[in-house]
Structure 1
Amino acid sequence: MKARFIRQQAPAAPWCRRGAFFSLTLFLVSGAGHRFGLLETVPFFWLLGIAGALSLASLVLGGIALVQVWEHGSSGASVAAGGIFVAVIALTPYGVSAYRFFEHPPLMDISSDLDDPPKMPLAAGARTGAMNALVDATDENRDLQHSEYPEIAGRRYEHTAEKVVEVVHLMMEERGWQPKGMSKAKLAGASVTLEGLAHSYFLGFPADVAIRIEDDQTATFVEMRSASRYGRHDLGDNAARIKRFLNELDERLALLAAV
Structure 2
Amino acid sequence: MHKHIPIRRPRTARISYRAGLFAVPVLVIAALAHRAGLISDIELLPVMAFGFALGIAAFVAGLIALVSLWEKGGVGWSAAVRGVVYGGIALVPLAFGLYGLVTYPKLADISTDIENPPVLVDYDRPEPDKADRQLQREAYSDLVPRRFRVMPEELHTAARQVLERNGWPITSEIPPDLRDVPSRIQAEVRTLLFGFTDYLAVRIEPDPFGARLDVRSASLVGEHDLGANAERIRMFQEELDAVLLEAFGALEPVSEDEEAPPPPPELPLLSEVPYEERIGPPPPPSAKPVPGAEELDGEEQIDPLEELPEDLREIYVDEPAEG
TM over 0.5: same fold? yes
Report the CA distance between 1:72 and its aligned residue: 4.8
1:229 aligns with 2:220: yes
Question: Is this contact kept in 1: 2:162–2:243, CA < 8 A?
Answer: no
Partner of 2:198: 207
Partner of 1:55: 55
Partner of 2:173: 182
Pairing 1:128-167 to 2, within 5 Å after superposition: 133=125, 135-167=126-158
TM-score normalised per structure 2: 0.71
Partner of 2:77: 77
> How large is the Cα RMSD of the aligned pairs?
2.1
In 2, Cα distance between equivalents of 1:103 and 1:201? 19
Summarize the Cα distance change of 1:81–1:180 in structure 2 as closer, same or farther, 3 Å threshold: closer
Pairing 1:5-154 to 2, within 5 Å after superposition: 5-70=5-70, 72-120=72-120, 122-124=121-123, 133=125, 135-154=126-145
Question: Is this contact kept in 2: 1:187–1:214, CA < 8 A?
Answer: no
Summarize the Cα distance change of 1:218–1:68 in structure 2 as closer, same or farther, 3 Å threshold: closer
Q: Paired residue for 1:251, among 242, 256, 261?
A: 242
In 1, Cα distance between equivalents of 2:228 and 2:46? 21
SS for the counterpart of 1:141 is helix
Summarize the Cα distance change of 1:257–1:63 in structure 2 as closer, same or farther, 3 Å threshold: closer
Q: Which has the larger radius of gyration?
A: 2
In 2, Cα distance between equivalents of 1:207 and 1:140? 22
TM-score normalised per structure 1: 0.88
In 2, Cα distance between equivalents of 1:217 and 1:180? 30
SS for the counterpart of 1:233 is coil
Summarize the Cα distance change of 1:45–1:181 in structure 2 as closer, same or farther, 3 Å threshold: closer
Question: Is this contact kept in 2: 1:10–1:68, CA < 8 A?
Answer: yes
The answer for unaligned runs of 5 or more in structure 2 is 251-323
Report the CA distance between 1:6 and its aligned residue: 4.8
In 1, Cα distance between equivalents of 2:170 and 2:231? 19
Question: Is this contact kept in 2: 1:109–1:228, CA < 8 A?
Answer: yes
Question: Is this contact kept in 1: 2:58–2:86, CA < 8 A?
Answer: no
Report the CA distance between 1:68 and its aligned residue: 4.2
SS for the counterpart of 1:201 is coil
In 2, Cα distance between equivalents of 1:61 and 1:184? 58
Question: Is this contact kept in 2: 1:177–1:197, CA < 8 A?
Answer: yes
Summarize the Cα distance change of 1:175–1:37 in structure 2 as closer, same or farther, 3 Å threshold: farther
Q: Which has the higher contact order (CA 8 A, sep 6+)?
A: 1
Report the CA distance between 1:66 and its aligned residue: 3.2
Summarize the Cα distance change of 1:201–1:66 in structure 2 as closer, same or farther, 3 Å threshold: closer
In 1, Cα distance between equivalents of 2:157 and 2:242? 15
Q: Which has the higher helix share?
A: 1
Greater alpha carbon shift after TM alignment, 40-49 vs 73-82? 73-82
- The one-letter amino acid paired with 2:216 is R
SS for the counterpart of 2:122 is helix
